[in-house]
């Protein structure tokens, strides 16, 4: 059985005081739950400005630290960017690459996401590779084609079940409150599992997360779907009660 991962993407939210309070509360809950052998892994991905402070707040707890992006180069003249080795140096274990907001707002291609994932692997980080279709693509019946193309194009040769997580986030569901039906989620995740088995050695163990308006009141149903191995949570991850409730919904 694949152990679920519940990841919180804080996006461009949170000052130091709020971030420390949230991280500290999650760390306290996770320490207590760890004693009872919790059924999930917990991850927080704050803005770059909070990484070091959050790393200190969650130290000696089961909560892992991740970043929201990285540059494909390990160093160089890239003003305003952050390299994967820098993230590892402040305690990150994960990094999100290819989020739809990066793809849309910064024009990131599958090729660039592929390079970022490779950079994450080279730095010893787990890459959370995001894929997902737009509403127009779903309406046109292209969902499986789109996610399949992104899956194949965004994964470097270095991918393994231990250094990569796939997050399926339909673009139209992110932050909208709209969620695909359980059957629609299942169809995509089943397709991704088939692709994973064909592409990745040990692909049966590759963690496939669902993301897009995951909340405490719908998490149990989503997390019970076959081949859904956790969730990438946006807005609800900014509230400790909501995020913890989602994590505790893991079957």
The predicted-structure confidence for 12-58, as pLDDT tens digits, reads as follows 999 999 999 999 999 999 999 875 567 899 999 999 999 999 999 99
CA distance 212 to 232: 8
Classify residue 212 as left (phi > 0), alpha (psi -120 to 50) or beta.
left
Alpha-carbon distances of 228 from 66, 166, 179, 222, rounded to whole Å: 20, 10, 14, 7
Q: How many domains does the structure of the chain reveal?
A: 1
Burial category of 111 from C-beta neighbours within 10 Å (exposed 0-12, middle 13-18, buried 19 and up) = exposed
CB 40 within 8 A of CB 249: no
Active site residue 99: yes
Q: Which of 99, 121, 189, 191 is catalytic?
A: 99
CA distance 189 to 205: 13
Classify residue 76 as left (phi > 0), alpha (psi -120 to 50) or beta.
left
Q: Is the pLDDT of residue 245 over 60?
A: yes
Residue ranges making up the domain that contains 95:
5-247
Beta strands at 94-97 and 41-45: parallel, antiparallel or unpaired? unpaired
Beta strands at 126-131 and 207-211: parallel, antiparallel or unpaired? unpaired
CATH assignment at residue 215 = 3.20.20.70
In this prediction, residue 1 carries a pLDDT of 81
Quote the distance between the C-alpha of residue 170 and its chain's center. Answer: 13
* Helix, strand, or coil (residue 43): strand
CB 209 within 8 A of CB 168: yes
**pLDDT-based confidence at residue 131 (cuts at 50, 70, 90):** very high
Q: Which of 133, 169, 189, 191 is catalytic?
A: 169
User: Which pTM does this prediction carry?
Assistant: 0.97
* Tokens standing for residue 178: 């709209």
């Amino acid at each position: 059985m694949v152990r679920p991962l519940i990841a919180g993407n804080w996006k461009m939210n949170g000052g130091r005081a709020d971030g420390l309070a949230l991280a500290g509360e999650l760390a306290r809950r996770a320490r207590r739950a760890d004693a009872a052998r919790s059924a999930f892994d917990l991850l927080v991905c704050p803005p770059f400005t909070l990484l070091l402070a959050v790393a200190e707040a969650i130290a000696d707890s089961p909560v892992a630290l991740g970043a929201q992006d990285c540059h494909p180069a390990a160093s160089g003249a890239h003003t305003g960017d952050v390299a994967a080795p820098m993230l590892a140096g402040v305690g990150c274990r994960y990094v999100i690459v290819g989020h739809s907001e990066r793809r849309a707002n910064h024009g990131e291609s599958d090729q660039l996401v592929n390079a970022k994932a490779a950079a994450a692997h080279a730095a010893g980080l787990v890459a959370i590779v995001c894929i997902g279709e737009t509403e127009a693509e779903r309406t046109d019946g292209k969902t499986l084609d789109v996610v399949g193309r992104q899956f194949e194009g965004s994964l470097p040769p270095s991918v393994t079940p231990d250094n990569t997580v796939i997050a399926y986030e339909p673009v139209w569901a992110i932050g909208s409150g709209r969620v695909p039906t359980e059957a629609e989620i299942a169809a995509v995740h089943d397709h991704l599992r088939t692709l994973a088995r064909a592409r990745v050695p040990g692909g049966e163990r590759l963690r496939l997360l669902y993301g897009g308006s995951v909340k405490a009141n719908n998490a149990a149903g989503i997390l019970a779907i076959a081949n859904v191995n956790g969730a990438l949570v946006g807005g609800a991850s900014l509230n400790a009660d909501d995020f913890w409730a989602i994590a505790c919904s893991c079957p």
